[in-house]
């Protein structure tokens, strides 16, 4: 054995096997993950460390929208990994410029800023909105209006903007000048959006808040009111964007254009990347040094995101999403009809659907999700009262049929007390 071989052998010691119990021993307890530990996946198929197969209707909370190990995404990452990984924001790089150009050509936006997550994209959006208002109108125009039960990230600023007190309890004092109004309530929006508001932040489809689509008239009013008061309209499309609703971004289906749009999750299909898109006028408020991030827009993330965007943003792909969503919604409505004691309704948009629980089963969404996992189906919840489905956008009709069959078996098990 050569000296180099001995050094390599020493540098790669045997790794002790890990289990779900290891999580409780070494991880900060901010999650309560399933006992199942996934180790391999392809498309919507997942296998755990025991070799059990699961059908994934979570897409990593709306992230792996092209499915696991999609060949186009894998090749994009592999090819860039052989070229250039990271240069820092003192330099630019070809992949990020190509991605920015592709996103601005595909949307209302003129300018893009890249970061690592949806929370960072929303943080950047709200910082930009305050900077814009301060430059245009002075420091008194600083309030941010958002919706009750919204979710915009986990930084202190974005979690405070989100209208869910359970996520801010114990973290005070919280940032000031934040107001929360009921979702889809035009009267409340009219009362809240005055001349001191710098930004209105809204999810076109509320995700964590219960899979609730915005009404068209509501978004139209927000646009009108923001234009009248000089506030910026920010659409958080971290979960509902990148083809999830059957449009590249949900705003396109509503015909309402924001001033700033945020994206992440599915943009990288599992590789961490976020984006803030905005107009030339708004972007011009920032200058070098006003905001930044070390890893944002790195060549690896940008290459992956561009491959995802080019795959999703085609008429045929988006038409298939609409076809799949119609089929899934139709079959879920049949489940609601057959189990009225358990489910009240199906709601959502595209392949972002929620099954709201009937009164007798309110608070038991997690129980149904666990029962589904026992049947080999991975599901999400959106609060305690909604079972959430976010399958990869490449889901097949056969996988939809199989998922619904497993939901039925899971509900039967819950009703039987299993």
101-114 residue pLDDT tens: 999 999 999 999 99
Report if residue 209 sits inside a domain.
yes
The reported pLDDT for the residue numbered 208 is 93
What tokens does 49 get?
A: 């460390």
Report if residue 5 sits inside a domain.
no
Other CB atoms within 10 Å distance of the CB of residue 110: 14
Q: Are residues 265 and 340 in the same domain?
A: no
The reported pLDDT for the residue numbered 163 is 83
User: Which pLDDT band holds residue 1 (cuts at 50, 70, 90)?
Assistant: low
Write the pLDDT tens digit of every residue in 68-88: 999 999 999 999 999 999 999
Residue that terminates a domain, selected from 312, 337, 357: 312
Write the pLDDT tens digit of every residue in 217-248: 999 999 999 999 999 999 999 999 999 999 99
For residue 256, the SS3 value is coil
Q: Is the pLDDT of residue 7 over 60?
A: no
User: Which pLDDT band holds residue 5 (cuts at 50, 70, 90)?
Assistant: low
Q: Are residues 122 and 174 in the same domain?
A: yes
Residue that terminates a domain, selected from 293, 312, 331: 312
51/39 Cα distance (integer angstroms): 9
Q: Are residues 115 and 224 in the same domain?
A: yes
Q: Are residues 125 and 252 in the same domain?
A: yes
30/171 Cα distance (integer angstroms): 14
Residue that terminates a domain, selected from 312, 334, 351: 312
User: Which pLDDT band holds residue 194 (cuts at 50, 70, 90)?
Assistant: very high
Write the pLDDT tens digit of every residue in 14-61: 778 899 999 999 999 999 999 999 999 999 999 999 999 999 999 999
The reported pLDDT for the residue numbered 6 is 57
Q: Are residues 303 and 162 in the same domain?
A: yes
Q: Are residues 224 and 356 in the same domain?
A: no
CA angle 220, 250, 329 (to 5 degrees): 110
The reported pLDDT for the residue numbered 136 is 96
Beta-carbon contacts of residue 81 (< 8 Å; ≥ 6 apart): 300
CATH code for the domain in which residue 386 is found? 3.90.1150.10
Q: How many domains does the chain have?
A: 2
Q: Are residues 200 and 327 in the same domain?
A: no
Q: Are residues 340 and 243 in the same domain?
A: no
Mean pLDDT of 360-371: 97
The reported pLDDT for the residue numbered 8 is 57
Beta-carbon contacts of residue 228 (< 8 Å; ≥ 6 apart): none
The reported pLDDT for the residue numbered 16 is 85
Report if residue 4 sits inside a domain.
no
Q: Which residue has the higher pLDDT, 3 or 128?
A: 128
Q: Which domain holds residue 58?
A: 11-63+315-415
Report if residue 136 sits inside a domain.
yes
Beta-carbon contacts of residue 330 (< 8 Å; ≥ 6 apart): none
Q: Are residues 237 and 111 in the same domain?
A: yes
Report if residue 194 sits inside a domain.
yes
Q: Are residues 166 and 119 in the same domain?
A: yes
Q: Is the pLDDT of residue 10 over 80?
A: no
Among residues 374, 372, 376, the alpha carbon closest in space to that of 46 is found at 376
Q: Are residues 264 and 138 in the same domain?
A: yes
The reported pLDDT for the residue numbered 90 is 93
Report if residue 1 sits inside a domain.
no
The reported pLDDT for the residue numbered 418 is 54
Write b or e for each residue in 157-180: b if 16 or more Cβ atoms lie within 10 A of its Cβ, otherwise e: bbbbbbbbeebeeeeeeeeeebbb
Q: Which residue has the higher pLDDT, 8 or 204?
A: 204
The reported pLDDT for the residue numbered 2 is 62
Report if residue 164 sits inside a domain.
yes
Write the pLDDT tens digit of every residue in 294-335: 999 999 999 999 999 999 999 999 999 999 999 999 999 999
For the chain, give the percent of residues with pLDDT over 70.
96
Q: Is the pLDDT of residue 13 over 70?
A: no
Q: What is the mean pLDDT of the chain?
A: 95
Q: Are residues 303 and 325 in the same domain?
A: no
178/168 Cα distance (integer angstroms): 13
Q: In which element (H, E) is residue 262 found? A: strand 260-263
The reported pLDDT for the residue numbered 381 is 98
Q: In which element (H, E) is residue 192 found? A: helix 186-192
365/387 Cα distance (integer angstroms): 5
């Amino acid at each position: 054995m050569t000296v180099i071989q001995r050094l390599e052998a020493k540098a790669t010691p045997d790794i002790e096997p890990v289990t779900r119990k290891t999580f409780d021993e070494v991880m900060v307890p901010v999650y309560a993950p399933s006992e199942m530990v996934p180790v391999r996946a392809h498309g919507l198929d997942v296998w755990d460390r025991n070799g059990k197969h699961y059908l994934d209707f979570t897409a990593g909370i709306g992230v792996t929208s092209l499915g696991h190990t999609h060949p186009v995404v894998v090749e994009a990452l592999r090819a860039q990994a052989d070229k250039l990984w990271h240069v820092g924001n003192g330099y630019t790089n070809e992949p990020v410029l190509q991605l920015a150009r592709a996103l601005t050509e595909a949307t209302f936006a003129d300018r893009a800023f890249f970061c690592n997550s949806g929370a960072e994209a929303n943080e950047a959006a709200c910082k930009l909105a305050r900077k814009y208002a301060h430059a245009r109108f002075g420091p008194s125009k600083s309030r941010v209006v958002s919706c009750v039960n919204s979710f915009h990230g986990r930084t202190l600023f974005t979690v405070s903007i989100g209208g869910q007190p359970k996520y801010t309890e114990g973290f005070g004092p919280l940032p000031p000048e934040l107001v929360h109004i009921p979702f889809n309530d035009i009267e409340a929006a009219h009362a809240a959006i005055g001349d001191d508001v710098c930004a209105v932040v809204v999810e076109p489809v509320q995700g964590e808040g219960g899979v609730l689509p915005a009404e068209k008239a509501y978004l139209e009013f927000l646009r009108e009111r923001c234009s009248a008061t000089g506030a910026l309209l920010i659409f958080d499309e971290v979960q509902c964007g990148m083809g999830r609703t059957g449009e590249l971004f949900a705003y396109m289906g509503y015909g309402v254009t924001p001033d700033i749009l945020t994206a992440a999750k599915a943009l990288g299909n599992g590789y961490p990347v976020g984006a803030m898109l905005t107009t030339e006028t708004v972007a011009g408020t920032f200058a070098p040094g006003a905001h930044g991030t070390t890893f944002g827009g790195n060549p690896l993330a940008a290459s992956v995101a561009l491959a995802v965007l080019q795959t999703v943003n085609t008429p045929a792909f988006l038409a298939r999403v609409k076809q799949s969503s119609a089929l899934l919604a139709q079959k879920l409505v049949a489940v609601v009809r057959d189990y009225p004691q358990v489910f009240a309704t199906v709601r959502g948009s595209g392949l972002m659907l929620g099954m709201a629980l009937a009164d007798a089963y309110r608070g038991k969404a997690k129980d149904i999700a666990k029962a589904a996992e026992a049947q080999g189906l991975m599901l999400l919840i959106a609060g305690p009262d909604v079972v959430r489905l976010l399958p990869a956008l490449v889901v097949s009709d056969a996988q939809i049929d199989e998922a619904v069959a497993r939901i039925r078996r899971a509900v039967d098990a819950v009703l039987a007390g299993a």
